């Protein structure tokens, strides 16, 4: 039977490799998805590509899978970070899920002056990235970084990483676009509901590596802006073509 279930595991994957399941995974596979010995699932761990595996032991508290064959090599996304200011819980979850689907390599929650919340639940957000990778067929899971202060992030900024600064102040002006052909590491910056402060805008604009872009004549919500920016970036520099 064809494997339709995709499961993220931490364990190494390879030819004939046994993969033990923890209680939660066993509950999901055998309790929720009704799998049993002999059933097939697809596994990925973010490093070894995707593998078809067979259930060899199924229990209430655990189980064992055995890798049969590799079904996809590891497909790394482009070296794109999504730096965004966390907003309300559901919308922050949405941004993380979409970033994983759209092919961000790293997701960086940033505390800006107008950021509503000073805390994030990193583990919960990471779990959303895993779930998004499971359902979109990805073989890579972007890391969700710890919340970092805006100034601190820019202080040690790698001069080799360009910044696509999504500047709502440009919404009223004519469209600005990315320079075609600029390859290498990138980061997209999206502000919170209140936008970037004047000081933050000045700081971002002063960086040699940053290019301020408009996402059109309308002010987008931060979650919409994140998806729109990743679309534009992927279309210009990314792995879509």
When binding is defined by CB under 6 A, the residue of 125, 222, 230, 232 that contacts ligand SAH is 222
Min CB(137)–ligand SAH separation in Å? 28
Min CB(229)–ligand SAH separation in Å? 7
> What is d(CA 192, CA 111) in angstroms, rounded to the nearest whole number?
9
When binding is defined by CB under 6 A, the residue of 80, 225, 227, 232 that contacts ligand SAH is 225
By the rule CB under 6 A, 191 interacts with ligand SAH: yes
How many other β-carbons are positioned within 10 Å of the β-carbon of residue 221?
10
Of residues 35 and 234, the one with the C-beta less far from ligand SAH? 234
By the rule CB under 6 A, 220 interacts with ligand SAH: yes
By the rule CB under 6 A, 82 interacts with ligand SAH: no
When binding is defined by CB under 6 A, the residue of 199, 216, 235, 240 that contacts ligand SAH is 216
Min CB(160)–ligand SAH separation in Å? 23
By the rule CB under 6 A, 195 interacts with ligand SAH: yes
How many other β-carbons are positioned within 10 Å of the β-carbon of residue 157?
13
How many other β-carbons are positioned within 10 Å of the β-carbon of residue 121?
14
Token pair, residue 19, equals 């993969």
Q: Which residues of 159-196 are buried (b: 16+ CB within 10 A; e: fewer)?
A: eeebbbbbbbebeeeeeeebeeeeeeebbbbbbbeebb
When binding is defined by CB under 6 A, the residue of 91, 194, 197, 203 that contacts ligand SAH is 194
Nearest residue to ligand SAH by CB is 191
Closest CA to 105 of 151, 161, 50: 161
Q: Residue 54 — left, alpha, or beta (φ > 0 → left; ψ -120 to 50 → alpha)?
A: beta
Min CB(155)–ligand SAH separation in Å? 20
For residues 70 and 12, the answer to whether their CB atoms sit within 8 Å is no
By the rule CB under 6 A, 168 interacts with ligand SAH: yes
- Chain residues binding ligand SAH by CB under 6 A are 166-168, 170-171, 190-191, 193-196, 214-216, 218-220, 222, 225
């Amino acid at each position: 039977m064809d494997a339709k279930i995709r499961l993220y595991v931490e364990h190494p994957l390879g030819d004939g490799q046994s993969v033990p399941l923890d209680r939660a995974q066993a509950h999901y596979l055998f309790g929720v998805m009704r799998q049993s010995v002999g059933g097939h699932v697809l596994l990925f761990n973010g490093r070894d590509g995707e593998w078809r595996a067979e259930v060899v032991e199924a229990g209430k508290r655990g189980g064992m899978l055995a890798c049969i064959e590799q079904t996809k090599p590891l497909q790394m996304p482009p070296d794109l970070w999504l730096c965004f200011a966390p907003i309300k819980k559901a919308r922050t979850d949405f941004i993380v899920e979409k970033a994983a689907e759209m092919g961000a390599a790293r997701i960086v929650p940033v505390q800006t002056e107008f950021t509503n919340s000073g805390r994030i639940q990193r583990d919960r957000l990471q779990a959303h990235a895993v779930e998004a990778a499971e359902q979109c067929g990805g073989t890579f899971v972007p890391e969700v970084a710890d919340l970092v202060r805006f100034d601190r992030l820019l202080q040690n900024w790698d001069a080799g990483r360009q910044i696509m600064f999504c500047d709502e102040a440009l919404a009223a002006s004519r469209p600005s676009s990315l320079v075609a052909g600029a390859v290498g590491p990138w980061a997209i910056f999206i502000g919170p509901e209140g936008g970037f402060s004047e000081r933050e805008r000045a700081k971002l604009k002063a960086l040699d590596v940053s290019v301020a872009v408009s996402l059109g004549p309308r002010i987008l919500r931060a979650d919409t802006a994140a998806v729109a920016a990743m679309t534009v970036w992927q279309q210009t520099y990314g792995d879509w073509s």
